[in-house]
């Protein structure tokens, strides 16, 4: 297949490009600098710049672009960037997918859709929650409408916390744990809906190839873990003590408004993937941590 990807240099995009190319697909990377290879195409989502003709013949268009929610304190300016970077890139690629008549548009999304669910289990049938990130995800998914209106199959991949060493939550946790200073965050009772990187990539390829899947799809492991359970699994796998829990007030001081997401709880079930027969390689937190440790 011929596949175009926005956000191809990010945490998930980098892995996905490599995996798809190994499978023999032609992958076009959308870049915001002058292209340096025939497989690169210039785009600028904020100004709407993209030559749709360069995506001609693409079977699949994927958008994974967006400013990292944990990369900076949530000032008003950065919150605006979190929203605009997602909506602008999705809108542009949804229009591109419609123009080139792609078979499927994979639109990046997140489990932030559900807000704080406490210990309540939620799946793709649940409505949006409340809060800044929930509002962002609602707008983010709505931005894919130009593709669906044109008859393109749209899949909104609501990704959870990806267990990876080179980005995301675990890239920050691992150095602390390896020093023996890791511990639960806040009460430790909040649920973390995680997914290993290899399951994330496999799930994206699964929904690409399964023409019966459309709409929201949770990309999370089937057994969400509490933060305390995550801490225990990391301690076991990395053979380090967990002596120093981080109190909620310290996180609020350090992270500002973003601490609400760290201390909040999301118990998300990937029901669409389960019903479609997707097989997780890392269905629980200890398995995900062992895979992380082996990489």
Check residue 260 and give its pLDDT. 65
* 241 in any annotated domain: no
Say if residue 290's pLDDT is above 90.
yes
| CA atoms of 293 and 275, how far apart (whole Å) | 30
Which CB contacts under 8 angstroms, 24+ apart, belong to 276-280?
276/206, 276/210, 276/212, 276/213, 278/202, 278/203, 278/206, 280/199, 280/221, 280/222
Helix runs in the chain, H state only: 11-22, 76-99, 132-142, 145-149, 169-178, 197-209, 227-238, 248-255, 259-263, 271-276, 285-294
pLDDT band for position 238 (cuts 50, 70, 90): confident
Of the two residues 250 and 219, the one the predictor is more confident about is: 219
Percent of the chain with pLDDT over 90: 78
Q: What tens digit of pLDDT does each residue of 79-129 get?
A: 999 999 999 999 999 999 999 999 999 999 999 999 999 999 999 999 999
CA distance to 201, 272, 283, per residue, from 13 (Å) = 9, 22, 22
Bigger pLDDT: 14 or 263? 14
The pLDDT score that the predictor gives to residue 18 is 98
Answer for the pair 65, 55: CB distance below 8 angstroms, yes or no: no
Residue range 212-238: average pLDDT? 94
Q: Does the pLDDT of residue 255 top 60, yes or no?
A: no
**What are φ and ψ of residue 121, in 5° steps?**
-75, 135
Q: Which helix (H) or strand (E) holds 161?
A: strand 161-163
Cα separation of 7 and 64, whole Å? Answer: 5
- Judged against a pLDDT cut of 80, whether residue 261 lies above it is answered with no
Whether 213 is in a domain gets the answer yes
In a domain, 61, yes or no: yes
pLDDT tens digits, 27-67 = 999 999 999 999 999 999 999 999 999 999 999 999 999 99
Domain membership of residue 23 as a residue range? 2-164+194-220+270-278
- 168 vs 164: CA distance, rounded Å: 7
Q: What is the pLDDT of residue 73?
A: 80
The number of domains in the chain is: 1
pTM: 0.94
Residues across the chain: 295
Residue 263 covered by a domain: no
| Enclosing H/E stretch for 269 | none
CATH number of the domain residue 81 falls in: 3.40.50.720
Task: Identify the residue with better confidence: 208 or 264.
Answer: 208
SS3 42: strand
**Whether residue 246 has pLDDT greater than 80:** no
Instruction: Indicate whether 16 belongs to any domain.
Output: yes
Phi-psi region of 140 (alpha: psi -120 to 50; beta: other; left: phi over 0): alpha
Does residue 233 lie within any of the structural domains? no
If you average pLDDT over residues 167-174, what whole number do you get?
Answer: 78
Residue 257 is predicted with a pLDDT of: 63
């Amino acid at each position: 297949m011929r596949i175009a990807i926005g956000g191809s240099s990010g945490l998930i995009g980098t892995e996905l490009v490599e995996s798809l190319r190994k499978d023999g697909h032609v992958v076009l990377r959308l870049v915001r600098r002058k292209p340096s290879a025939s497989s690169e195409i210039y785009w600028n989502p904020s100004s709407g710049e993209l030559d749709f003709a360069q995506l001609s013949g693409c079977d699949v268009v994927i958008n994974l672009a967006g400013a990292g929610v944990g990369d900076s304190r949530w000032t008003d300016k950065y919150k605006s960037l979190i929203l605009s970077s997602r909506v602008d890139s999705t809108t542009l690629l949804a229009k591109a997918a419609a123009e080139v008549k792609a078979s499927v548009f994979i639109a990046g999304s997140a489990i932030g859709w559900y807000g704080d669910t406490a210990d309540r289990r939620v799946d793709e049938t649940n409505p949006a929650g409340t809060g800044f990130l929930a509002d962002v995800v609602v707008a983010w998914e709505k931005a894919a409408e130009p593709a669906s209106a044109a008859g393109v199959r749209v899949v909104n991949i609501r990704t959870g916390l990806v267990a990876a060493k080179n980005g995301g939550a675990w890239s920050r946790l691992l150095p602390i744990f390896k020093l023996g200073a890791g511990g639960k965050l806040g009460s430790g009772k909040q649920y973390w809906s995680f997914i290993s990187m290899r399951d994330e990539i496999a799930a994206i390829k699964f929904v690409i190839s399964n023409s019966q899947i459309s709409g929201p799809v949770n990309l999370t492991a089937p057994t969400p873990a509490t933060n305390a359970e995550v801490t225990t699994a990391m301690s076991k796998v990395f053979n380090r003590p967990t002596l120093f829990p981080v109190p909620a007030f310290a996180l609020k001081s350090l992270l500002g408004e973003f601490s609400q997401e760290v201390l909040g709880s999301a118990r998300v079930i990937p029901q669409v993937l389960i019903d479609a027969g997707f097989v997780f390689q890392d269905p629980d937190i200890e398995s995900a941590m062992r895979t992380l440790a082996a990489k």
